[in-house]
Amino acid sequence: MSIEPPRYLYEDYRHWQGDWELIDGYPFAMAPSPYGKHQKLMGRLLHLFSSELEECTCEIYPELDWIINESNVVRPDLAIYCEDIEKYPTTMPKIIIEIISSSTVQKDETIKFELYEKEGVEYYQT
């Protein structure tokens, strides 16, 4: 007989210490601080997208929680939103980019991909 691990909601998530994501009610600890290679690539992508979006109302946000619903809170490496964001986005991002590392590849290319697909995210790049 297998015991299913407990599921949590956003209200629980708000009180946790450290960096977490919540996917279908299951907590996922975020990987430790990214390496220099990851940050370098993120900086280049931020610059590239920021330049391309100058004439647009959309903005690129690094590592901003997207609260999808009470059971799903994710933090993409980069996401483009076409809304004015004060605290957290209230709409689906136009584009999500995850910078893959050996410690995140399984979650980013399988678990998060399936969640984003289910939510109707149009562009997801790893």
112 conformational bin, left if phi > 0, alpha if psi -120 to 50, beta if neither? alpha
Residue 29 · residue 40 · CB < 8 Å: no
Return d(Cα 109, Cα 124) in angstroms, integer.
10
10-125 CATH, one of 3.30.530.20, 3.20.20.100, 3.90.1570.10, 3.40.630.30: 3.90.1570.10
Pairing of strands 123-125, 95-97: parallel
**Mean pLDDT in residue range 62-73:** 95
How would residue 34 be classed by pLDDT, with cut points 50, 70 and 90? low
How would residue 9 be classed by pLDDT, with cut points 50, 70 and 90? very high
% pLDDT > 90, the chain: 61
For CA atoms 21, 26, 31, 33, give the dihedral sign. Answer: positive
Residue 32 has pLDDT above 80, yes or no: no
**What residues pair up with 75 in beta bridges, in sequence order?**
none
What is the pLDDT, as a whole number, of residue 45?
94
